[in-house]
Structure 1
Amino acid sequence: MTPKQASDEQFYRPLIAHKLGVTEDDITAIVVRRKSIDARQRQIRINLGVAVFVGEQPEQESTVYTYPEVAHRPPVGIVGAGPAGLFAALRLIELGYKPIIFERGKNVHDRKRDIAKIYREHTVDPDSNYGFGEGGAGTFSDGKLYTRSKKRGSVKKILEVLVQFGADPQILIDAHPHVGTDKLPAVIRGIREQIIASGGEIHFNSRIEELVLKNDQCKGVKLANGQRYDFDAVILATGHSARDIYEMLWKQGVNLEAKTFAMGVRVEHPQALIDSIQYHQAQRGPYLPAATYSFVEQVNDRGVYSFCMCPGGFIVPAATAPGELVVNGMSASKRNSPFANSGLVAEVRPEDLREFKQYGVFAGLEFQKHIEKLCFMMNGQTQFAPAQRLTDFVSGKRSADLPESSYRPGLISSPLHEKLPKRVASRLREGIRQIDRKAHGFLSGEGIAVGVESRTSSPVRIPRDETNLQHIRIKGLYPCGEGAGYAGGIASSAIDGERCAEAVALAIGD
């Protein structure tokens, strides 16, 4: 139906009655189950999936998950309090095990203060930033829950758990659910309180120094402060930016492997421009949300694609250590910023990194570090980000000036087309041209490229046996989520956390 018809039951009730061959008075309730936007044609359509009740009322269908007392049950170690770690903990409690989480960063409240310092003082706390701390990277970078993951596990359950802890029930309906970075901290705090109330433990400011290994068995963890905790199983859910964890594992002889990742820029446009492109009209009007987009192109045998699109959003400084510059995107729940942004990245394969081959499995990590340090040095060793109008980036010239941007530390005009590696920049430039042929107006002087978007995923994988989810050699070690190379976002990471918890229960329950 039209956006206006879909906006209120009074518009679509007569349509449904006609479709079913009943009168409007016969209908006692209409419950929306699913909602999506079809903007492929000039006439925008809203697809609603509804349950219609005739002569009866719907039953309450709120799913509530129960978490028993586990204080005296067998403990399981979890490294990392991102979505993979937190959902692993909740699932372990359901299965009757005591989760003990170690998080290098701080709780969400204290994290906010350290993030504020990035803006005010251009200083990055290596343990508390946009990437590290309670809730992981997703807590302060948007909270999108859409996933194409085909892994075993229920996205529906993940959404229901989030609603149980305070997320808007609308995420159960929308085709592309989104919590919002303004809402997620309270949800994460609720999950933490439940874990503790059930007898689990969460240790903040607790960085792992090494695993306790014996005869190819993981027997526990040792913290940076010297404390040791013994476990029969450890779920390693440290996120894609915990580079020191990969180095620790390598030093301890734990197998790692290089994997494909992506690098590029964060592209920002006025939201009104994206609306006009996607909705084929000058203004989106009152019945449509801020428009999104998703583009995938092929350039010289490598993928070029948009990633983490944030309608009505902001670009944020996402470095996880001093001396580097990284950008990411976020949207609040209302998505009401006048800007739209997304990562626009080019695929990088291990064989593309010949000049870093001396680093072996860490070639991709060193490549990331090199570019992030370069961007940091370009603008006086600050969090001012290098930027370029899209038209100038594609045509290969420095921008004389820059349009207004959501990136609050500030932008400085820089020749990104020269500074980014040619293998990345040339593919991005051609990819933008290809996108503009499909979405005319995308290649615009109003759009800007901001560098560098380098943390789409980890360039390293911690290999595991997919039959039992344990490391291929170290028994009792369960690599999990984005940091292990088995997820890509909040929802898929949460699913992987649940799967690892179930695998642990099956193994140690025997």
Structure 2
Amino acid sequence: MKTVELVLSPAEAFNEEQFETLLYKKLGLKKDGDVYVQPVKRSIDARSRNVVVRVQCELLSPSEKKSPTATTTYQQVGNKQQIIIVGSGPAGLFAALRLIELGVKPIVLERGADVQARRRDLAAINKDHFVNPESNYCFGEGGAGTYSDGKLYTRSKKRGDIRRILEIMVAHGAKEEILFDAHPHIGTNKLPKLVAELRQSIQDAGGEVYFNTKVVDLILKDETIKGVVLQNGDRVEGEAVILATGHSARDIFHLLHQHNILIEAKPFALGVRVEHPQILIDQIQYHCTGDRGPYLPASSYALVHQANIEGQDRGVFSFCMCPGGFIVPAATAPGEIVVNGMSPSRRDSKFANSGIVVAVDENDFKEYAKHGALAGMIFQSAIEQKACVIAGGTQLAPAQRLVDFVDKRVSSSLPETSYQPGLASVEMREVLPKRIAQALQQGFRNFGTRMKGYLTNDAQIVGVESRTSSPVKIPRDKDTLEHPQIKNLFPCGEGAGYAGGIVSAAMDGERCAEAAFARITNKS
């Protein structure tokens, strides 16, 4: 095996039909089976005015070439021991597939609709301003990631096998380029089909998946979980419960709190979405004067600044940047405004948006301390409700031109937006806590010095970006992954505080499946 790096033009690197053939040609190799060229990383290098694409490749002999191990055919587990999984986001789906590999039957319970039916619920938010609290951009098959972007980049290198997760996605319909792109992305328009294929694999193997099935209570005996109670009164029992409910299932946090099950307040981040014309971001990042051309993808950015507010350092950073994307309404209940970002697979919207958020700690929500471990969540909810009231009480989102926000002026008009329900021009400092607003103003000034043209009134901020991560952590043993108080309960994924995106949640789902399997195997 030998690793080489090729420097290609965008036209060479992103021509899907010619890419593989071109690699052999550039290396002077024949595609005859003697040597295989396998791309392992493709990344854009825009440091100079001449933008290039760097492609790292492995040259493999026939004996070294490995075929993907992922499959869509799994063993039958219909009559095996069963483990309950609450939630069908990436953590829940990948936990289910791993349990099947281990010979256990998963019972997946999802409060929301399947991916197809869920589209109607999303349309109702965008067009009619109606929020279904059970099925929306956060709840439903595939979880929050399915209809809010589909970025697969993760820094969680030590938590599991990233390649394995991506190969399972490829086996279920994702393009092979996610295996080597530096920042892999599937796209909101492509993810629903992939999610449905994952579900089909679970069902074909004898696993069970139920939609519109809300868990409202836990079956507990002698500090051991025996199963769950559904909204219709049915009881579902299993050998263990993997709790993979996502960062917005506030009712589950309330339920654990009511049962005096140990949970903890967790720091998170709060802020806004900033929306620019994509062509402006391209011109800044790619050093071009016109459009970026037919081959370069819509450009992105990553920014961070340490603001100083009242003598305290506050991290201000970009989050979930969506080039060529849309801002979407991510509320999970009527009477609140929450925004998130998403990009279709082509990233061909004329807008770029990114969360710009400020780190929040317990000092920010100390007035809610009486709520104990739920203090951060109640603080988060209060801001979302305030945003809704100030913007008019519908799903109109509060917004302000970027320079106007920094200079403390109400915008007399707003630019065109990708946010379908519409915007209301407000003074965003009335929506955001004072210290958060001040940190954002400092951050935007700093970003404007580092990306010339970024700080412009052709951009606007839209609020609030509040669901960056769970405001509650459900503790677990670092080795067994079991809750320290309740036996056979395995807190999992982003909602429990152990993941931050599709891939890290999927890896955590697999780890929890393995831990639950070890627990029931040792017990029996």
TM > 0.5? yes
Out of 350, 373, 376, the residue aligned to residue 364 of structure 1 is 376
Deviations for 1:452-497, whole angstroms, at most 9, x for unmatched residues? 1000011110011111000111110000001100101110000000
Superposition deviation, residue 251 in structure 1: 0.5
Q: 1:446, CA displacement in angstroms?
A: 1.0
Do residues 16 (structure 1) and 27 (structure 2) align?
Answer: yes
Moved more, 2-11 or 441-450: 2-11
Q: Against the structure 1 CA distance between its residues 224 and 187, is the aligned structure 2 distance closer, same or farther, given a 3 Å change threshold?
A: same
Q: Secondary structure at the match of 1:357?
A: helix
Q: Is the 8 A contact 2:323 2:343 kept in 1?
A: yes
SS of equivalent to 1:135: coil
How high is the sequence identity, in percent, across the aligned residues? 54
Q: What residue number does 2:4 align with? A: none
**1:309 is matched with which residue?**
321
Distance 1:25 1:191, change over 3 A: closer
Displacement of 1:13 after TM fit? 5.4
> What stretches of structure 1 move > 6 A for 4+ residues in a row?
22-28
* Match in the other structure for 2:111: 104
Task: Report Cα offsets for 1:360-395 as digits up to 9, x if no partner.
Answer: 211111111111111111122111111111011111
Contact 1:84 1:496 in 2 (8 A): yes
The 5 A counterparts of 1:69-468 are 69-282=76-289, 283-300=291-308, 301-468=313-480
Q: Any unmatched runs of 5+ in structure 2?
A: 1-6
**In structure 2, how many angstroms separate the alpha carbons of the residues matched to 1:357 and 1:413?**
32
Q: CA deviation at 1:206?
A: 1.1
Distance 1:487 1:101 in 2: 19
CA distance in 1, matches of 2:10, 2:178: 19
Query: 124-133 or 348-357, which moves further after superposition?
Result: 348-357
Question: What amino acid is the match of 2:394?
Answer: T
Distance in 2, Cα, partners of 1:43 & 1:363: 50
- 1:64 counterpart residue number: 70
Q: 1:430 to 1:214 in 2, by over 3 A?
A: same
Q: Map Cα deviations across residues 301-327 of structure 1 (whole Å, 9 max, x no partner).
A: 121111111110000111001111111
**Contact 1:364 1:459 (8 Å CA) reproduced:** yes
Aligned length: 505
Letter in 2 for 1:457: S
Letter in 2 for 1:248: L
| Matching residue of 2:508 | 496
Change (3 A) 1:505 1:57: closer
1:480/1:486 contact within 8 Å kept: yes
1:232 maps to amino acid:
E
1:137 aligned counterpart, secondary structure: coil
CA displacement 1:263-296 (0-9 Å, x = unmatched): 0001110111111111122232233110011112
Q: CA contact under 8 A between 1:6 and 1:12: conserved in structure 2?
A: no
- How far has the Cα of 1:74 moved from its partner? 0.4
Question: 2: CA distance between counterparts of 1:395 and 1:325?
Answer: 24
Instruction: Answer whether contact 1:32 1:173 (CA < 8 A) is retained.
Output: yes
- Kindly state the Cα deviation for residue 28 of structure 1 after the two structures are TM-superposed: 6.7
Please tell me whether the aligned partners of residues 70 and 164 of structure 2 are also in contact (alpha carbons under 8 angstroms). no
CA-CA distance at 1:26 after TM superposition: 12
CA RMSD, Structure 1 to Structure 2 (Å): 2.0
Of 254-263 and 437-446, deviating more is: 437-446
Q: Is the 8 A contact 2:399 2:424 kept in 1?
A: yes
- Is the CA contact (8 Å cut-off) linking 2:390 and 2:431 kept in structure 1? no
Per the normalisation by structure 1, the TM-score is: 0.95
Q: Is the 8 A contact 1:144 1:490 kept in 2?
A: yes
What CA deviation, in whole Å up to 9, does each residue of 1:408-467 have, x standing for no partner? 111111110332111111101101111111111111111110011000011110011111
| Structure 1 position 52, deviation (Å) | 4.1
What is the Cα deviation at residue 354 of structure 1? 2.1
Contact 1:82 1:135 in 2 (8 A): yes
Amino acid at match of 1:179: I
> Using the alignment, how far apart are the partners of 1:57 and 1:200 within structure 2?
36
CA contact (8 A) 1:29 1:57 kept: no
Q: Secondary structure at the match of 1:140?
A: coil
Aligned residue identity for 1:325: I
| TM-score under structure 2 length normalisation | 0.92
- CA distance in structure 1 between the partners assigned to 2:215 and 2:391 by the alignment: 34
Structure 1: segments with no counterpart, 5+ residues: none
